[in-house]
Amino acid sequence: MTPVLARSLAGVMALAILGCGSERARETPVPTAPQMAAGADAPLKGPDHYRVKFETTKGDFVVQVHREWSPYGADRFHELIKGGVYDNAKFFRAVKGFMVQFGIAADPKISTEWREKFIPDDPVVKSNLRGYVTFAKPSMPNSRTTQVFINTADNARLDAMGFSPFGEIVEGMDVVDALNTEYGEETTQRQMQIYAEGNAFLEKEYPNLDGIKRVTVIE
């Protein structure tokens, strides 16, 4: 296994071992941008605030992004949407009462283009509350790339591990709650194959997964 693939596979493995937290959100001062770390590059700066519409197989939902919460995360998310990376991607990991996750492209060629484009970490300013949207990452620093999860419960215990929310669901949380969770963690150990084969693999092995049709910036 290559180092890059190991980092990608570990991205959500860190989440797999965690339960759901119920602590209240903690407020911290908005940080200045952290220093650039070796092996990570700042994404193109995006808007300070913007909304994103997800059209999915279960309906639509809208994410409000707050750059002050997680500057590098918000900027990368904007880049990925503008680049069409999430279009047609599957919600490949969906765990009832925990979260749903996406971010491995439908086309393996697109995944290859982005797998080494790491961004620096952001300090955790907001807690991982229900409806908050956060980049997945392994335990190594400055290792975020494309995978994102939506908290479907209050998961405050993720905060201390450096998972920094950058946005929140403002419309359609019922759609997120309705996404198919029948496969649970089954795909977590199979991310090598998902990266290598994309939707072809998922549609064959996990035909009932819900997916994204299109993602657009609407504000």
Q: How far apart are the first and last CA of the chain?
A: 41
CATH number of 3-27+45-217: 2.40.100.10
Tell me, yes or no, if the pTM score tops 0.95: no
Which alpha helices (DSSP H) does the chain contain, by range? 3-16, 71-82, 108-114, 173-178, 191-197, 199-205
Q: Give me the residues paired with residue 101 across strands.
A: 93, 149
Beta strands in the chain (DSSP E): 49-56, 59-66, 93-95, 99-102, 132-135, 148-151, 165-171, 212-217
Residues of the chain short of pLDDT 70, as ranges, are 1-39
> What does the pLDDT read at residue 117?
94
> What does the pLDDT read at residue 38?
54
Q: How many residues does the chain have?
A: 219
For the chain, what are the domain ranges? 3-27+45-217
> What does the pLDDT read at residue 159?
98
> What does the pLDDT read at residue 139?
87
> What does the pLDDT read at residue 106?
98
